Chain A
Amino acid sequence: MSIKLEHVGYVYSQGTAYEKHALKDVNLEIGDGQFIGVIGHTGSGKSTMIQHLNGLLKATEGTVYVNGENIYADGYDLKSLRTKVGLVFQYPEHQLFEVDVISDVCFGPKNQGCSQEECLERAREALQLVGLPEKYYKESPFDLSGGQKRRVAIAGVLAMKPEVLVLDEPTAGLDPKGRDEILDQILLLKKELHMTVILVSHSMEDVAKYVERIIVMDKGKVMLDGSPKEVFSHYKELEQVGLAAPQVTYIMHELAAHGLPVRTDATTVEEAADEITRCLEERKILPAEKNILQAAQQKQPEA
């Protein structure tokens, strides 16, 4: 499913004293099966932008096309669009309300008009996808831990079988392990179901690790759009708009400034470790065991 934003602008409370131009001339194309990160400081327009993707907000300027169709055209089925583009808001667990986990997840498909059996089947499938063990299905969602509640809330959206999944800060408030688990699970969904995933995040480290494309928003406009390596190479511009690069990117720049000939575009710990290893080995600085091995090899001819 492809989504295209063309010259999209949005003004809150138009014509009042509180008028705010939240989006200005946003042009974006979101292709099939991409994993996209959206970053920007509070008030940059990220949340406003994602609410245009399923027609929850109607652009005050410009048009949104889904699969080439104008979603603002007369007779366009917005209701079905909203099930195709699933939106998981911040702190989605605040929206849990049913008596038990399985009923909560059934709510979406039930509204789509699915039969009771189909609802239960979809709910089970969705809960499996988010990795919540079956023993919790009959528990009250309010008795679960923060991470588990969030999984239930995400499952509630997945049960509607969306083609595009949009998550607004899905890891806020979770502990580090919970953060990794949720994001690993989302990555798995993307791979197994070939879903398009759009992740709004305040963690540069997380977007660098998971996504293939980053959209940077500032003052209602798209400021940068590219791969993590491209985007984070503009770390000075990012700092000016209240963002930053991942910590390892700064380390690489500092190493280079201190004369170590490393490439500076690493954005994850893994990439940085590989690049530093390569550079040190080129300088004949070898890890301890390799040193011993090499010393042993040099000795062999004499023996």
Chain B
Amino acid sequence: MSRLADMIRTKKLVFEYEKRDEEGNVIGKHRAIDEVDMEIQPGQFIAILGHNGSGKSTLAKHMNAILLPESGTMWVDGKDTSDLSHLWEVRQSAGMVFQNPDNQIIGTVVEEDVGFGPENLGVPTDEIWKRVEESLSAVGMIEYRHHSPNKLSGGQKQRVAIAGVVAMHPKCIVLDEPTAMLDPNGRKEVLRAVQGLRERERITVILITHYMEEVIEADQVFVMDQGHIVMQGTPKEVFSQVETLKKYRLDVPQVTMLAYELQQRGFSIPDGILRKEELVDVLCQLN
């Protein structure tokens, strides 16, 4: 039985990649996801951290049935993804945005690119235009609607890719390292757009990233290692454990590291400081 209240739910989810030799015979298996249990409520902002090869992208690809579980179950909005009769509903519920914006844009004009998704869903033309307008406004790209995507910056392209997913009216959007190839400004633009989606459109956001500063606004942070979820909690709870995170090849935001360093030197500074304002307040009050 799946519970309808969860946006995403997994039970003992397992996925294995097969290693093959040149003739295509299976010579070994690598378990990328190992009995993961996870629940994500609608409207939440979830961050997934983990080193390269920890299984986070493989997990993300289960969320819109690009990959299907080897064993165990993945429910998206109450629907079992292994049941192929749900495939299109699953893909419509959970949209995905990938790392490289250049691989995700197909249109020659921005608005055409954004309209591609809803058109494929068979949405009537008037409704497509309405959705294109709404989703481009939601990511702050409406003034570029008539532009050619290949003249845009990385951050702008990535926002167009997000708008393309939003136009399909998903309940949930999964972003797999959307900022990895962007400069600091591009990163900021994309994060702002993602925040806006969650606040205004009430879309569940699942963000996979290697930039620790990007997750401090999340409701929940999951940390993955060797296909397992090894830490789970609010950003404050997770980033309080500096040494544990380092063990998992991760890091903490620079301000958290500075607070931790001062704490190690014996100053009385609380755990898990995430914002520079917090640290400035604490330091100014030391007496």
Contacts and interface: CB of A to CB of B under 8 A. Distances in A.
Contacts of B286: 280, 285
A118 interface: no
Given A42-B153, A172-B181, A173-B177, A269 B254 contact: yes
B183 A41 contact: yes
B57 to A, nearest CB: 11
B182 interface: yes
Given A173-B177, A176-B250, A248-B254, A202 B283 contact: no
Contacts of A185: none
A64 interface: no
A287 interface: yes
A254 interface: yes
Nearest to A244: B184
Contacts of B268: 288
Nearest to A258: B284
Contacts of B287: 285
A282 to B, nearest CB: 13
Interface in A219-275: 242-244, 246-248, 250-251, 254-255, 258-260, 269-270, 272-273
B212 interface: yes
B210 interface: yes
Contacts of B257: 269
B255 interface: yes
A173 B184 contact: no
Contacts of A276: 258, 262, 283
Contacts of B155: 42
B160 to A, nearest CB: 15
Nearest to B254: A247
Contact of B266 (A202, A243, A287): A287
- Of B53, B181, B183, B268, the most chain A CB neighbours within 10 A belong to B183
Contacts, number: 120
Contacts of B284: 255, 258-260
A273 B265 contact: yes
Interface residues of B, number: 44
A176 to B, nearest CB: 4
Interface string A207-222: 0000000000000000
Given A43-B153, A285-B286, A287-B265, A202 B258 contact: no
B180 A172 contact: yes
Interface string B43-84: 000000011111000000000000000000000000000000
Given A259-B284, A276-B283, A176 B266 contact: no
A191 interface: no
Interface in A139-182: 143, 145-147, 172-179
Contact of B255 (A146, A247, A270, A285): A247
Contact of B279 (A43, A251, A259): A251
A246 B177 CA distance: 21
A290 B257 CA distance: 22
Given A42-B186, A176-B251, A145 B52 contact: yes
B213 to A, nearest CB: 7
Contact of A177 (B185, B249, B266): B249
Interface of chain A: mostly helix, strand, loop or mixed: helix
Contacts of B95: none
Nearest to B30: A143
Nearest to B213: A247
A204 interface: yes
B46 to A, nearest CB: 19
A269 B182 contact: no
B280 interface: yes
A243 B276 CA distance: 18
B267 to A, nearest CB: 5
Contact of A248 (B153, B181, B213, B255): B255
B99 interface: yes
Given A175-B249, A243-B185, A248-B254, 20 more contacts: A41-B183, A143-B19, A173-B177, A173-B210, A175-B250, A176-B212, A177-B246, A178-B51, A179-B210, A202-B182, A202-B183, A202-B184, A247-B254, A255-B284, A258-B280, A260-B284, A273-B258, A273-B262, A280-B267, A280-B283
Interface of A: 40-43, 143, 145-147, 172-179, 202, 204-205, 242-244, 246-248, 250-251, 254-255, 258-260, 269-270, 272-273, 276-277, 280, 285-290
Q: Which 8 A-B residue pairings sit nearest by Cβ, starting from the closest?
A: A287-B266, A177-B249, A176-B251, A242-B185, A175-B51, A247-B254, A273-B261, A146-B52
30 contacts: A42-B155, A42-B183, A143-B19, A145-B52, A145-B53, A146-B53, A172-B180, A173-B52, A173-B181, A173-B210, A174-B52, A175-B54, A176-B212, A176-B250, A177-B250, A177-B251, A202-B182, A243-B185, A248-B255, A254-B277, A254-B280, A269-B261, A270-B261, A273-B258, A276-B258, A280-B267, A280-B286, A285-B286, A286-B266, A288-B268
